[in-house]
Structures are given as C-alpha cells and as structure tokens.
Amino acid sequence: MRFMLIMQGTASGWDSMCQWKPEEIQAHIGFMIKLRDELKDGGELVMAEGLDIPRNTKVVTAKRVDQPTVFDGPFPESKEFLAGFWVVEVPTEKRACEIAARASTAPGPGGKPLAFPIEVRQVMCAPVVEG
C-alpha cells in the first residue's frame, strides 16, 4: 500500500524558523535526512521532497490550455500550507501513521519536537484497462 504523508506548515511557523539558531536548523535538517535514509534503506521510501517557501507559490487555473490564469499564492487568508511530503510503500496504514508520528517529532528550537501535523492519505491506483 502506498501512502502520502503530507507535512503541513503555517506562515507563523515558517517565519519563526528565521529566529532559530544555526545548530537548531542543522539538527532539524539532520533529523529529516536520517529519517529519509532509514526509510530508503528499509525499502519503504518511494520519494520525499520539501517544497519552496509559500510566497513563491503560484496557483494556475485554465479553461483552455493556451490561456492560463496565474495567481500568486497561497492566498493571504490561508493559515496552512503544504511544506513537504513523503510517499511511502508500507504494508499497513498503521505503519504509515508510525512514520508520520516520527516525522512530526522533528526537533525545533531547543530540540523540542515541533509536533507539526502530517496528513496520511492512501495513494489510490487506477484500475488496469486492457486494450
């Protein structure tokens, strides 16, 4: 079973990272790299990516492919945004939740776990169409 673990962030949380000490940033990044490597070595990691800062986000809508409307995003009223994600292949939803819980404990200022929310959603597959 494949699951996407969607790391949520907030604008205030993102902005507060500018106040972190360099060693706190290194601890946080080191934690994420270690988790990625352990999942990869265990054969559970399909992919993982962090995403660019929210102010660089674009939202695109179109009624025709040659006439897109591009907005800066996320919208100002948004309180949360997608900060990054993992796609894991694990035998059960329980295992996906265990990985999400571990990721949520990533250290922040003073080494305290950030306890940020991570949405766990199964990646669905389309039925095979024979032709």
When comparing pLDDT for 129 and 107, which is higher?
107
Residue pair 47/89 in contact (Cβ under 8 Å)? The answer is: no
Q: Which helix or strand (DSSP H or E) is residue 35 part of?
A: helix 22-41
Domains and CATH numbers, the chain: 2-122 (3.30.70.1060)
When comparing pLDDT for 125 and 75, which is higher?
125
| Residue 125 confidence class, pLDDT cut points 50, 70, 90 | confident
- How do residues 51-100 score in pLDDT, each as one tens digit? 887 778 888 889 999 999 988 876 656 677 888 999 999 999 999 999 99
When comparing pLDDT for 12 and 97, which is higher?
97
pTM check: above 0.85 = no
Closest residue by Cα to residue 96 from 119, 75, 113, 117: 119
Largest Cα span, the chain: 58
Give the alpha-carbon dihedral of 76, 100, 33, 116, to 10 degrees: 40
pLDDT of 15 above 80: no
Residue pair 116/16 in contact (Cβ under 8 Å)? The answer is: no
pLDDT at 56: 83
The share of the chain scoring above pLDDT 70, in percent, equals 95
pLDDT at 36: 96
CB atoms within 10 A of CB 5: 22
CB atoms within 10 A of CB 45: 19
